[in-house]
Amino acid sequence: MVDLSQYDFEAIVEQTDKLDEAVYFLAAAREQTDRRQFRWLVSAFFNAAYSYFDTAAMHACNAYTNTDGETMPDDDALAILGKYIEVEQQKGNPFRVHTMPVNSVAKQLYSHRKNNTHYFPMSIMETGPLPDGFHFGSIRGKGVPIIGLCDDIMDLIVQVQKELDEV
């Protein structure tokens, strides 16, 4: 028998924690005018937004427990997520999932996050008043407005969470 008195239930975070984390880092980035610190905050935002999808997928894959103690998926939640990401649950470890973007905004998130995490720090140009004038890239006139992309990503994860909450 499990001794529940050993658990600190306050330490267990809500499934939406990564959404809240993304909101936090985007709000901080909106206030930042130093290019290096802005890059760090956007990197943290991308990691939180990316993790939001992984966490949502893991929760959807392990939503219920049957009488044998095995986890069972929430097929409705997986169908909602399937509009935005592909979800692959690792065999042998139900709490490990791999996600791939399907939606165009999610594809941009995954691409920028992958490049920043695995290859090189983000190239950020100052093209106008900051922080809105920060753009991805290093070729003048060809940058992508960072705050605009982050807003699109934030709108996406808020929409996904809204749909999940309605299930």
Read off the tokens for 123.
């190239």
Q: Let me know the angle formed at the C-alpha of 46 by 40 and 52, rounded to the nearest 5 degrees.
A: 135
Q: What is the pLDDT of residues 62-85, one digit of tens each?
A: 998 888 888 899 999 999 999 999
Q: What is the pLDDT of residues 30-74, one digit of tens each?
A: 999 999 999 999 999 999 999 999 999 999 999 988 888 888 999
Residue 20: which of 136, 123, 154 has the closest Cα? Answer: 154
| Model confidence at 4: pLDDT above 70 | no
pLDDT for position 125: 94
Q: How confident is the model at residue 90 (pLDDT cuts 50, 70, 90)?
A: confident
User: The pTM is what?
Assistant: 0.90
pLDDT for position 75: 97
Mean pLDDT of 1-11: 69
CB-neighbour burial class of residue 2 (10 A; exposed 0-12, middle 13-18, buried 19+): exposed
Distance CA 149, CA 102 (A): 17
